[in-house]
């Protein structure tokens, strides 16, 4: 599904990735481990061209990905991204945030007026159901807890119907129970939908628990590729030459407990309802 050959990324004189080769199969759940600054985010960002590779080739589903306009449109459709800090639009409703995952497949005019075809609303609702947030669909997203916001991020990624999900430290700000929930949704996406998932993590324990395969990155190079049960002390020393970092355990890192924003006046909780195109036509007639 993803073939990376000879990928280099330079920022000025500094080389963040040195000739990285990596193949990830369809539906595989791969975890990337590495110390802070090892190049994990840069690797994900090169795959979806948020960072333009300096050298090398990346193929997604057999097609070479490109950073020109048409190439970017394709990669943004095929590859969804989940971020540590959720990247949700706080004042929009939960449902509208999930619907933004459909924008790449909608006519521009409809998306401009935030008018969503009924088919897309049905897809978004189904994705919310999968992350058990359907009862929150009409709430403003800034009333949700951190864990719930990350589940909105996952629902938005699923709504995109991508071939690949890239998750950049998706549980770094969450407590252990919520982290496992979020990682389970990602694992389900790979198993049930055949979506290829590449997930950057700081927590070795979660890599052992969830990964099908682990990639270890150190100083911009892949230093380990193997099964989670092959993560011996020796291997961890390769991946973390300075020692396994403090704070690789979410609880110890002072992760956010999964509590929602307290008491906002009820009326303020509800963002404007989502309308279908026929509903809008009726309102305007
Ligand atoms: N836009 C940029 N300009 C210059 N240097 C950058 C840029 N982005 C990343 N770097 C450098 O590239 C290296 C790899 O960074 P990257 O963010 O990929 O690491 P990481 O493994 O994801 O770290 P962390 O776990 O802390 O997020 C770091 O030394 C970083 O300072």
Residues 169 and 200: beta-carbon distance below 8 Å: yes
Name the pTM for this structure.
0.86
Tell me the C-alpha distance between 38 and 53, whole Å. Answer: 16
Rg of the chain over Cα atoms, rounded to whole angstroms, equals 20
Tell me the C-alpha distance between 157 and 153, whole Å. Answer: 6
Beta carbon of 184 within 6 Å of any ligand 1 atom: no
Specify if 111 maps to a domain.
Answer: no
Place of tokens 């048409």: 70
Please tell me the predicted confidence (pLDDT) of residue 263: 31
Specify if 113 maps to a domain.
Answer: no
Q: In testing the pocket of ligand 1, which one of 40, 47, 168, 172 has its CB within 8 Å of the most ligand atoms?
A: 40
Specify if 261 maps to a domain.
Answer: yes
Beta carbon of 34 within 6 Å of any ligand 1 atom: yes
Specify if 131 maps to a domain.
Answer: no
Q: List the CATH number of the domain containing 69.
A: 3.40.50.300
The whole domain housing 214 covers 2-91+164-284
Residues 42 and 17: beta-carbon distance below 8 Å: yes
Specify if 107 maps to a domain.
Answer: no
Beta bridge partners of 213: 30
Please tell me the predicted confidence (pLDDT) of residue 112: 65
Specify if 19 maps to a domain.
Answer: yes
Specify if 28 maps to a domain.
Answer: yes
Of ligand 1's atoms, which has the minimum distance to the CA of residue 34? 21
Q: Count of alpha carbons within 13 Å of 6, Cβ hemisphere only?
A: 4
Specify if 105 maps to a domain.
Answer: no
Of ligand 1's atoms, which has the minimum distance to the CA of residue 39? 18
Domain count, the chain: 1
pLDDT along the chain (285 residues), means of 10: 97 97 97 97 96 96 91 92 93 94 76 79 96 96 95 96 97 93 96 97 96 97 97 95 61 48 32 49 45
């Amino acid at each position: 599904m993803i073939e990376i050959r000879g990928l280099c990324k330079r920022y000025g004189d500094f080389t963040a990735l040195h000739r990285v080769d990596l193949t990830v199969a369809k539906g595989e759940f791969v975890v990337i481990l590495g110390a802070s600054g090892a190049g994990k985010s840069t690797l994900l960002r090169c795959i979806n061209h948020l960072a333009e590779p300096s050298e090398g080739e990346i193929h997604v589903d057999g097609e070479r990905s490109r950073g020109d306009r048409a190439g970017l449109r394709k990669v943004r459709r095929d590859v969804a991204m989940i971020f540590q800090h959720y990247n949700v639009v706080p004042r929009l409703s939960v449902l509208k945030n999930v619907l933004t995952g459909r924008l790449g497949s909608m006519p521009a005019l409809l998306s401009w007026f935030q008018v969503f075809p009924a088919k897309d609303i049905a897809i978004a609702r189904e994705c919310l159901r999968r992350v058990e947030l359907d009862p929150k669909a009409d709430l403003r997203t800034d009333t949700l807890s951190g864990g719930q916001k990350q589940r909105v991020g996952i629902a938005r990624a699923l709504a995109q119907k991508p071939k690949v999900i890239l998750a950049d430290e998706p549980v770094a700000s969450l407590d252990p129970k919520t982290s496992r929930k979020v990682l389970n949704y990602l694992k389900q996406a790979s198993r049930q939908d055949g979506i290829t998932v590449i997930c950057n993590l700081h927590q070795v324990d979660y890599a052992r628990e969830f990964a099908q395969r682990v990639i270890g990155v150190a100083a911009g190079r892949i230093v380990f590729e193997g099964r989670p049960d092959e993560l011996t002390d020796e291997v961890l020393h390769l991946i973390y030459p300075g020692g396994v970092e403090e704070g690789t355990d979410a609880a110890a890192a002072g992760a956010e407990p999964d509590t929602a924003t307290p008491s906002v006046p009820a009326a303020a909780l509800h963002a404007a309802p989502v309308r279908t195109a026929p509903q809008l036509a009726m309102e305007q007639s």
